[in-house]
Amino acid sequence: MRDAAKTTDALKINSVREHRKAARLTQAELGKICGVSRQSIVSVEGGDYAPSVYLAIKLARALGTTVETLFETE
């Protein structure tokens, strides 16, 4: 139950995974574009790691969206 709650909370934190899948990119491909490891992308998508401002901007650009859209606070 705790893992399910964590997953739900992570989805509320960011929509990186949703945008990555819509862009038809793998985690490894997105990581390469942004200059980080696949594991970094896994951590960001899972809500375990808050990316730096620079990485958030790179993610948004790579996914064709804005930082605000990827990381909504509500």
The DSSP call for residue 65 is S
Cα gap 34→36, rounded to integer Å: 6
Domains of the chain: 2-70 (1.10.260.40)
Cα gap 27→21, rounded to integer Å: 9
pLDDT grade, residue 10 (50/70/90)?
Answer: very low
Question: pLDDT tens digit string along 25-47?
Answer: 999 999 999 999 999 999 999 98
Alpha-helix residue ranges (DSSP H) falling in 1-74: 2-13, 16-22, 27-34, 38-45, 53-62, 67-70
pLDDT grade, residue 11 (50/70/90)?
Answer: very low
pLDDT at 1: 43
Cα gap 44→57, rounded to integer Å: 13
pLDDT at 2: 46
Instruction: Tell me the whole-structure pTM to 2 decimals.
Output: 0.80
pLDDT grade, residue 13 (50/70/90)?
Answer: confident
